[in-house]
Amino acid sequence: MAETLEPAIPDALDRLAKTVLRHACDRKLMLVTAESCTGGLLASLLTDVPGMSHAFERGFVTYTHAAKHELLGVPRAVLERDGAVSKACARAMAEGALAHSNGHLAASITGFTDGAPDQPAGLVHLACAARGKPTRHRVLHLGDVGRGEVRIGAMEAALRLMLDQLRDAADAA
């Protein structure tokens, strides 16, 4: 098994995904993901829940600058000026995922799982965009904990952002 899939998805993360899906189903809302460092793991998790996966509309895995630009419309200027792992890019990814889908709410994840010069391991930017609502952003500094742990932490944070947006939508209704 690939190193990043060990250990298996924690039970708490699985429960959180089910909660997000339940809220989306109750409101008849469709979810979208735009992922880079998680490589589609969040989309996989959201489609793995029997009876609720119909709330998932689509997922984008945009690992390269070109993919972020071509599939999500992230401006080249954002990628060049701010970089792919930035607040501006995460926001553009989430907003682009909404613009290029039929979803109601989109979460994006972009980060560094491994460290390199000017690329701190465990730095992750996330955003959640909902139609008619301000886009939310969160930054994580998970440190050099390994690819798997960074991906798990990023998925948990993205699900929490989605849940916050879903709850706010319910409160406003």
Closest CA relative to residue 44, chosen from 22, 23, 17, 67? 17
pLDDT, residue 168, reads: 86
For β-strands 136-141 and 123-130, DSSP reports them as: antiparallel
Strand locations in 29-152 (E)? 31-35, 56-61, 105-111, 123-130, 136-141
Q: Does position 169 have pLDDT exceeding 60, yes or no?
A: yes
3-state secondary structure of 98: helix
pLDDT band at 97 (very low <50, low <70, confident <90, very high): very high
> Token digits for 167?
């709850």
Closest to 162 (Cα-Cα) out of 43, 38, 7: 43
Domain harbouring 160, CATH code: 3.90.950.20
Arithmetic mean of pLDDT, 56-65: 98
Exposed, middle or buried: residue 13 (CB in 10 Å: 0-12, 13-18, 19+)? middle
61 against 118, higher pLDDT = 61
Number of domains in the chain: 1
pLDDT band at 115 (very low <50, low <70, confident <90, very high): confident
- 120-148 confidence digits (pLDDT tens): 999 999 999 999 999 999 999 999 999 99
Question: Which pLDDT belongs to residue 3?
Answer: 47
CA distance 94 to 154: 14
Q: Residue 170: what pLDDT?
A: 67
